[in-house]
Amino acid sequence: MREQVKSVLARVRSKPPNILKALLALQERLGHVPTEAVSEIASALGVTTAQVAGVLSYYPDVRLTAPGRHLIRVCMGESCYANGCGRLLRELQDRLRVDVGETAAGGKFTLDTMSCAGNCAVSPTVMIDRDLYGRLLPSQLDTLLERYK
Amino acid sequence: MRTVTRLYLSNDTSARAAGAGVLADAWSEHPEVQLIRISSRGAFYLEPMVERDSPAGRVAWFNVTAQDLPLILSGTDGTPVRSIPFLAQQTRVTFANFGETEPLALDEYQARGGLSGLETALRIGPDAIIEELQVSQLRGRGGAAFPVWNKWKVAQQARADQKYVVANADEGDAGTYCDRMILEGDPFRLLEGMLICARAIGAGRGYVYCRQEYPGAAKTLRAAIQKADEAELLELDGEPFPIEVVEGAGSYVCGEETALLESLEGKRGVVRARPPYPAQSGLYGSPTIVSNVLTFATIPNILSRGGAWHAALGTERSRGTMALQLGGRVKHPGLVEVPFGLSLHQILEQFGGGMAPGSRFKAVQVGGPLGSLFPASQMDIPVCYDVFAKAGAVLGHGGIVVYDHETDMVDLARHFMAFTADESCGKCTPCRIGSVRGREILERIQAGSGTIEDLALLHDLGDTMKVASLCALGGRAPYPVLTAIEHFPAEFRAKLRT
């Protein structure tokens, strides 16, 4: 993993250094940003470990642990709220037997929420990896989840 | 010989989420179909919508499934697009290309008047561009509604080695999606607006800060930038004007302009105290224009048709058109571009088509998660900046979400405050601590252990957050909560401990 970290960091070096870009590039490669890599990132970018740790802890989408093979995000925006996203979330929690932020047994799905997917006109919305599903009914969840291996 | 029919199908993310992607897959190998993937008209309640040419213009089929293909190919039961009331009653200016063109076809963009605003800008020069914007009375469409010409003038007059143009594509207000539509559906319009701005203020570099939740938008925009570059459009006065797409990482407050700049620099997305304003000292301390995507996309038409044309639309202090985005329990959710000044009632009835089947109206929220709630008795309010400001409300980025009779107002208020508590950047105390305390009070009321003093406490807390927060997140967070209490007091009182 150290080699991977090194090669990614070599690619995103810039002046002035951009910590968030470096973290997102690492996440793109590794699926998450390992906390063990903080000091290495700091020295590669020429910033302090506190600066790196600060950025790392700030952004909801920079992950400290690897998610499951598929990331399910239930949109909690107001249009989705009005259209019953709360029920969708509860159904998913029950089906996957996880709470928000957790990965289901077997490592297939990680369940999370998002504040708005910009899909308000066909809400409620669930985003799986990079794909959006709209006008979702709880009864459609089983068929939807089956599509993911 | 077999005839091939050209069918138009939207490639917009929401159209795909409604089933357009499934149709495209099902028909991809069909020998009789040539599928053209266009932008969406924004009539999302009709998506997936399939169109074909006819002597009298496009004809459409609504809520199409793969089995409808024979019907469409035989040409039966289609509806002429121009007779769809939802679209026919709009004033499509910024969104005129939607549903008509392929998003990445630069020649189509140009054939429909694209780039003529930039041509004008290059010809008349910086001072005249800013004058035209002053005549137009365009105000920023991202939420703050600041006069655009004024901001540009400040940046133009600032002396600096480098200046930047930054498009805010961090469209985080729940209930809004018009920026996403522009990024995915008419990306050259945004680039043209940014180039005009760069020409006016003398900027050498552009950025689009795009939220991570919009992967499709970032991809289309990057492809558009490459096409524009190949067409040698990304240069001004013989100097390159590179535009880079930078993706965010899920922070709502990064849609606030100073937090956005911090994030663009790779730091924690924490709000900066203003002044200095970004137009004076922005990205890396250089003069920077940060404007929302819709604002930039509105500018090409102003340059090509003239500021007076724009100023002739709308109301006294809100000129032009506004892209309103309908969502929630309305029958016809979708994008509505109309001149400012129509009442909320008109918008929801004429365009929204009333309530979704089985739903009764309870309240409507305008302006995203920080916007005020309006009950049925206030539906006559005209949609424009000044009247909204007088009512203590905001238009924000034009999101309109309708709640129905099943909505629990106490839970909704808790939902709002929990959102702010989650998204607060933490820099100022009223927002950081206030939002958490507010959420706790509302959780208490929801659990049945709140008291009448808790409601008074919420008002006090709200007043403090309104006046003492550094940015609009903390400053606006109390509004949806307090308007919920104001208009639905019985629901809150019913849950109090006696």
Please report, for chain A, the start and end positions of each structural domain, with discontinuous segments joined by +: 2-58, 70-146
Q: How confident is the model at residue A93 (pLDDT cuts 50, 70, 90)?
A: very high
Smallest Cα distance from A2 to chain B, Å: 22
Chain B residues inside the 8 Å CB shell of A127: 213
* CB-nearest partner of A82 from B269, B403, B419: B403
Q: Is residue B252 less than 8 Å (CB to CB) from chain A?
A: yes
ipTM for this model:
0.96
> What CATH homologous superfamily does B5-88 map to?
Glutaredoxin (3.40.30.10)
Smallest Cα distance from A104 to chain B, Å: 22
At B1 the pLDDT is: 62
Smallest Cα distance from A87 to chain B, Å: 13
Chain B residues inside the 8 Å CB shell of A83: 328-329
Residues 6+ apart with CB under 8 A from B357: B331
* pLDDT over 80 at A49, yes or no: yes
pLDDT tens digits for B104-156? 999 999 999 999 999 999 999 999 999 999 999 999 998 889 999 999 999 99
Nearest CA in chain B to A116: B174
Smallest Cα distance from B256 to chain A, Å: 15
Question: Which fold is adopted by the domain B314-404?
Answer: Ubiquitin-like (UB roll) (3.10.20)
Domain B409-494 matching CATH 1.20.1440.230: the answer reads yes
Domain A70-146 matching CATH 3.40.50.720: the answer reads no
Q: Is residue B326 less than 8 Å (CB to CB) from chain A?
A: yes
Q: Is residue A117 less than 8 Å (CB to CB) from chain B?
A: yes
pLDDT tens digits for A109-131? 999 999 999 999 999 999 999 99
Smallest Cα distance from B372 to chain A, Å: 13
Chain A residues inside the 8 Å CB shell of B421: none
- Residue B188 CA to residue B75 CA, distance in Å, equals 33
Q: Is residue B164 less than 8 Å (CB to CB) from chain A?
A: no
Tell me which architecture the domain covering B106-311 has in CATH. 3-Layer(aba) Sandwich (3.40)
At B282 the pLDDT is: 98
Nearest CA in chain A to B42: A121
At A149 the pLDDT is: 84
Q: Is residue B467 less than 8 Å (CB to CB) from chain A?
A: no
Task: Give residue limits of the domains in chain B.
Answer: 5-88, 106-311, 314-404, 409-494
Q: Is residue B402 less than 8 Å (CB to CB) from chain A?
A: yes
Give me chain A's average pLDDT, please.
Answer: 94
Nearest CA in chain A to B370: A78
At A15 the pLDDT is: 87
Residues in chain B with pLDDT values less than 50: none
Q: Is residue B335 less than 8 Å (CB to CB) from chain A?
A: yes
